[in-house]
Chain A
Amino acid sequence: MGEFKVHRVRFFNYVPSGIRCVAYNNQSNRLAVSRTDGTVEIYNLSANYFQEKFFPGHESRATEALCWAKGQRLFSAGLNGEIIEYDLQALDIKYSMDAFGGPIWSMAASPSGSQLLVGCEDGSVKLFQINPDKIQFERNFDRQKSRILSLSWHPSGTHIAAGSIDYISVFDIKSGSAVHKMLVDRQYMGVSKRKCIIWGVAFLSDGTVISVDSAGKVQFWDSATGTLVKTHLVANADVQSIAVSDQEDSFVVGTAEGTVFHFQLVSVTSNSSEKQWVRTKPFQHHTHDVRTVAHSPTALISGGTDTHLVIRPLMEKVEVKNYDAALRKITFPHRRLISCSKKRQLLLFQFSHHLDLWRLGSTVATGKHGDTLPLSKDADHLLQLKTKVSKMPACLRSAVQIMFSEDSTKLFVASNQGSLHILRLLEGSFKHLHTFQAQSGTVESMCLLAVSPDGNWLAASGTSAGVHVYSVKRLKLHCTVPAYNFPVTALAIAPKTNNLVIAHSDQQIFEYSIPDKQYTEWSRAIQKQGFHHHWLQRDTPITHIGFHPKRPAHILLHDAYMFCIIDKSLPLPNDKTLLYNPLPPTNESDVIRRRTAHAFKISKKYKPLLFMDLLDEGTLVAVERPLDDIIAQLPPPIKKKKFGT
């Protein structure tokens, strides 16, 4: 395959924000995740846990609560006191509405999905009606003394439980008055703490209220009598989150020590009808606070300050023991944050509120495999660009994705209304050339763009419909690649051949010839044979596709844990061949080497890999972000005494 000089870059100082809320939608099998910087991400659990949608955050919009309502509508509320609804098609905020109760700490949608409750700093619980276009304030419940930190509806929709500081209130929805007030013991292992914060409540259909609090307790209350039924002390620190399964036979809590406990309703003795909540499994997948948990029918989902989203399938619920039953830990975004100027050897890093531009260093030395070469010039940080709102033309105000043509004369902009704009760049100004309108009936934003190196073709893909290819010369839609079940994770158009390479979240790769308007022979061949099972079992999506400037048969792809150069001229691997051979072939004859060689040349040397591309025929650039560097920038976790330390 050949030898490459690799620029190994670790100075991309990217730190993902901590996860604040997760909300699972059973209907669409999607997971909404909000982070402390206000970012909201939507993961499609059916599509190999792909992060298919993304709403950038803003420092003024710290979300404290996130919920799905009325099927597919997503709401968030935060400390700025506003309730926000997201437009999942246009990838934009639909509207925001002030609840006039100070910072909002909690929010819950009614079981029917038609009403929304928020709990505010001033101790008020406010009920909103969800209308098709907006939400409408309906009324306030009896005001409490202190902030409402958690809310939960009774499945029948007649009562709610609200967790506050030191007590839990049960409200009647009709009258809006508190039926019961259940005081929580402040004592913690004999020591009286200042306050006991009810971080989470869950209301079960049999009238039981489960609360989790800052004293490390999980408590069961009888809402009819307002009495404490049972206490589990699960942690020395706060228990910060709770989520109950739809069947109400299991629930999950997350603690500030990073532990997630699974509770299950099990029979006291075998074949007796009497059941009891038992703490069954502890999971320690987090190092920091588990701020939020969710319970899907088959998995426990947790997230917290350590920025990982952890999806832990419940083995007893998994029917087929396949690769989906494996633990998933999602740390990095499923999109590209880095772009690269090949000619000028520049790297542009995208942060949430600024951009960094770096110039790569150089070396004159040569070496053999594994050597680190002495640098003749180190990498330079050239500039940092902060966001600045200035006057922008209307079409550019809500861009989802932008892209320059290879010769830097044109700018392609995907707006949030599903349309694509072409702008000509002039010295210091620009001119609007054309707008490709969205296909009739769709308003889905195009979140991936690819432009051919000769500037003639533009490919754009949304999250569900197929990939559209536009002719830039003739300014019209050229063709549409047939829609595929799984979302597109990366797109690129090869130089010279104008083949469009598409990577999907189920790890399938298609090559589509734009001039011929059909899949290429190679693509058909690999679809016919099928990908190697190890290739299909990878759990991070392909986020970038590149091409070799000299060898048209080579395609470079990478995900977070490997990069691969596909040589289309070599035979495809079948399931019996070794897909990834980490060791260089030693003392094997040329014949054997040639016979065992296959199209997929994989290296796992660089990980976690955020970006990789070919600068020229012998040079690669790899941007790594070691997890240790991220952890070093997180606040220290709760110190736990370990034996022998």
Chain B
Amino acid sequence: MAALEEEFTLSAVPLGAGPDGLLGVEQCDKTDQFLITDGGRTVILYKVSDQKPLGSWSVKQGQVITCPAVCNFQTGEYIVVHDSKVLRLWTNEDVNLDKVFKATLSAEVYRIHSIPGTEPLVLFKEGAVRGLEALLAEPQQKIETVISDEEVIKWTKFFMVFRHPALIFITEKHGNYFAYVQKFNSSVLSKYTLLLGQEENFVIQSFTASLDRKFISLLSLSSDGCIYETLIPIHPSDPEKNQQPRVVRSLLLKTVVSGNARNALSVLDQDHVAVLGPPLPASKECLSIWNTKFQTLQVSKELPQGTSGQLWYYGEHLFMLHGKILTVIPYKCEMSSLAGALGKLKHGQDSGTQTMPHFVNWETSQGYGLESKNSEPSKRILRRRTIEPSVQPEVPASQQLLSIIKKDSEKHIEIELRKFLATKRTPDFHTVIGDIAIGLLERCKTEPSFYPRNSLMQLIQMHVLSYSLCPGLMEVALEKTDIQMLQLCLQQFPDIPEAVTCACLKMFLSIGDDNLQEIDVNMESVSDYSDAVQDEKMEEQMGILQNGFNPEEDNCDNCDKELSKKPQKTVEETTSCPVIPKRAALLNAVLHSAYSESFLLPHLKDIPAQHITLFLQYLYFLYLKCNENATMTLPGIHPPTLNQIMDWICLLLDANFTVLVMIPEAKSLLLSLYKFVKSQICICSELNKIEVSFRELKKLNQEKNNRELYSIEVLELF
């Protein structure tokens, strides 16, 4: 009995799905992982059981992904096409789609197909098909036109037929549908024409196909709401003759959905299909599972927020857009019994239980003699495969990797490491990772030219390393001035010694702006601080500050006056961030790191005075920013908190007090910092008073309610 389980959504990340929904959902080489391509620029890799994205890649502004990303099951790479002609290949480790392998093709791609066990196929809009490897070997090769002028590919599917790949695609021209079957073992393209017969005025809305021994069972959902089955032979009886192959189209299910809506169809197994669409013209959209053998509705689930009329089915999961959110409904089908199958049919129509065969004229034409040149057993050796070492199964993978680390090239180590990390995690995973990191670092020490940056980054990103597991890592990074790695370490390691934190800080402050611009830094913690609008806001804020307390009562008249004298100047000083955003991101990483005051202070003394001033300026700037809103927080994803900022200001002042007092550059900064703090204190004392009054008020209120031993009250129950 087929059953739909409780649905769940894949993160609430709003997919950039346009009115046409998603481009596609594709399987990945790892179970449970799926590539989702939205209608715009983004490809997201989801782990479905965890309901969370593992990675996300976007093409540049202005580029548009035109065909869903797929995974090459042989190499583990992902492939996507943007702007119809540009092919991109990348792996999990790549961050930026702009920098990955790129191939510009000579013709527009309709789709890339990839299924386990064979190399991916590229189907061009003109109907030609190429193997990926052949295409990559010669990207600019000429692509022939297979289908006629105004013919448009409507739908396509890729199968493995007895270990030989076969591709079916449906085209449409002036309301006529054609089916093409391309087989790659014999390089034969067969074409069938579908005449719609009486149902001519009905548009076919959705196709799906499955393999049924010697036939491809093509199911189509027409706009009259019925599902038709067409059996297309895999092996044309005699392809050489110009006879028309006979194909039969039969009505499979009657009126499962109301037409005129965006409906979708997917074959689940031999006997079950999933249909997406409103069962009645006025009703909400439903996902229904039909048993085609018994013609019964097995289960149905209402999707009140509407769908995009798209449905994907992989393994045990049905994917669809419910509202704007990608929803996954696990589907299970146990052994069906007749009684169970008959149980849920809602509209008991007598005639419905009998299939009504419709013999439809399928006008077949002799296959266009497509000179197929694609499926020569991949000439180009797969790029990843070449370097696969001879694996000795006895040695544990980690030992093997360690020995590779000792002698092989950086590139090779990187590849081997990636392979190792892809395997299942053992309980001692973190110690193994630590060993690998130490192995890498040891070689770094002995071989000055050896610096396996990518491998180290990869290890850090496993989220299991800590400073104590690989003690030399940050020192090496400091030595090599690897800012990006240092930032990553600061973000990931919970146990960095204060000396190292301080060394990082020193480096972040001293590195030149030009150098920084070239480095790729994680900018998560920095939001756009430097808005032009901020000027205005600041002024307003200052106004509020002055109204916040009563100068007569307070003893900070001086500062008040001073503040009111030249608020304009303070505004100018503080509204622009004193450091460039990249440096800000790095400094934020330092602010976030854990430290112990007494251990940090001595190291802070070593930082040159002008850097201290700069850092203090930056902290002052953050502090002002914090005070712009009531919650005292900075905008952004993971910004430094007010407490962190205050703590660091105190630390810097403590450590470098005499220096700061002495140097003239710091004078104005310290003065404005002092003024600002003082004005804050004034506000706080006022707030204190208000708080006391409110507390008393609250107490009075409570007492009134609670102290009476007896009262009669009015209560309304809702």
Contact = CB atoms under 8 A, between A and B. Distances in A.
Interface of A: 1-11, 361-363, 366-373, 375, 378-379, 565, 581, 584-585, 601, 603, 605, 620, 626, 628
A593 to B, nearest CB: 8
Contact of B712 (A6, A10, A368): A6
Contacts of A11: 709-710
A3 B716 contact: yes
Contact of B717 (A2, A361, A370, A373): A2
Given A10-B709, A373-B712, 14 more contacts: A2-B717, A3-B714, A3-B715, A5-B713, A8-B711, A9-B709, A11-B710, A361-B712, A367-B714, A368-B716, A372-B708, A378-B710, A585-B718, A603-B717
A8 B718 contact: no
13 contacts: A3-B715, A3-B717, A4-B714, A6-B713, A7-B712, A9-B709, A11-B710, A361-B710, A363-B712, A369-B715, A373-B713, A379-B710, A601-B718
B706 interface: yes
Contacts of B713: 5-6, 8, 370-373
A626 B716 CA distance: 22
Contacts, number: 78
B623 to A, nearest CB: 28
B305 to A, nearest CB: 16
Interface string B695-707: 0000000000010
A103 to B, nearest CB: 39
Contact of B715 (A10, A366, A605, A628): A605
B710 A8 contact: yes
Contacts of B716: 1-4, 368-369, 584
B712 A8 contact: yes
Contacts of B712: 5-8, 361-363, 372-373, 375
A507 B713 CA distance: 29
A628 B705 CA distance: 14
Interface string B373-391: 0000000000000000000
B715 A4 contact: yes
Contact of B711 (A370, A372, A585, A628): A372
B223 to A, nearest CB: 35
Contacts of B714: 3-6, 366-371, 373
A581 B718 contact: yes
Interface of B: 706, 708-718
Q: What 6 A-B pairs come out closest when comparing CB atoms?
A: A1-B717, A369-B716, A11-B709, A601-B717, A367-B714, A379-B710
A366 B712 CA distance: 10
A310 B483 CA distance: 55
Contacts of B717: 1-4, 565, 601, 603
A620 B714 CA distance: 10
Contacts of A5: 712-715
B374 to A, nearest CB: 53
A3 B712 CA distance: 13
Nearest to B706: A626
A375 B711 contact: yes
A260 to B, nearest CB: 30
A311 B712 CA distance: 36
B718 A10 contact: no
A368 B714 CA distance: 6
A366 B710 CA distance: 17
Nearest to A626: B706
**Which of A4, A8, A370, A378 is packed against the most chain B CB atoms within 10 Å?**
A8
A626 B708 CA distance: 11
A361 B710 CA distance: 8
A605 B713 CA distance: 11
A370 B710 CA distance: 15
**Which of B708, B709, B712, B717 is packed against the most chain A CB atoms within 10 Å?**
B712
A59 to B, nearest CB: 27
B181 to A, nearest CB: 48
Nearest to A621: B712
A416 to B, nearest CB: 36
A4 B709 CA distance: 19
Contacts of A585: 718
A10 B711 CA distance: 9
B710 A603 contact: no
A1 B711 contact: no
B439 to A, nearest CB: 26
Contacts of A581: 718
Contacts of A626: 706
Contact of A603 (B709, B711, B715): B715
Nearest to A369: B716
A581 B713 CA distance: 20
B437 to A, nearest CB: 24
B231 to A, nearest CB: 45
A615 to B, nearest CB: 11
A6 B716 CA distance: 10
Nearest to A601: B717
B710 A9 contact: yes
A36 B138 CA distance: 94
Nearest to B707: A10
Contacts of A628: 706
A1 B716 CA distance: 8
B710 to A, nearest CB: 5
Nearest to A11: B709
B265 to A, nearest CB: 30
A369 to B, nearest CB: 4
Contacts of A9: 709-710
Contacts of B708: 8, 10, 372
A620 B715 contact: yes
B106 to A, nearest CB: 55
Contacts of A8: 708, 710-713
A363 B713 CA distance: 10
Nearest to A366: B714
B718 A7 contact: no
Nearest to B704: A372
A584 B711 CA distance: 22
Contacts of A379: 709-710
B710 A1 contact: no
Nearest to B718: A584
A57 B706 CA distance: 32
A185 B542 CA distance: 68
B6 to A, nearest CB: 12
**Which of B706, B708, B710 is packed against the most chain A CB atoms within 10 Å?**
B710
Contacts of B709: 9-11, 379
A637 B718 CA distance: 42
Contacts of B711: 8, 372-373, 375
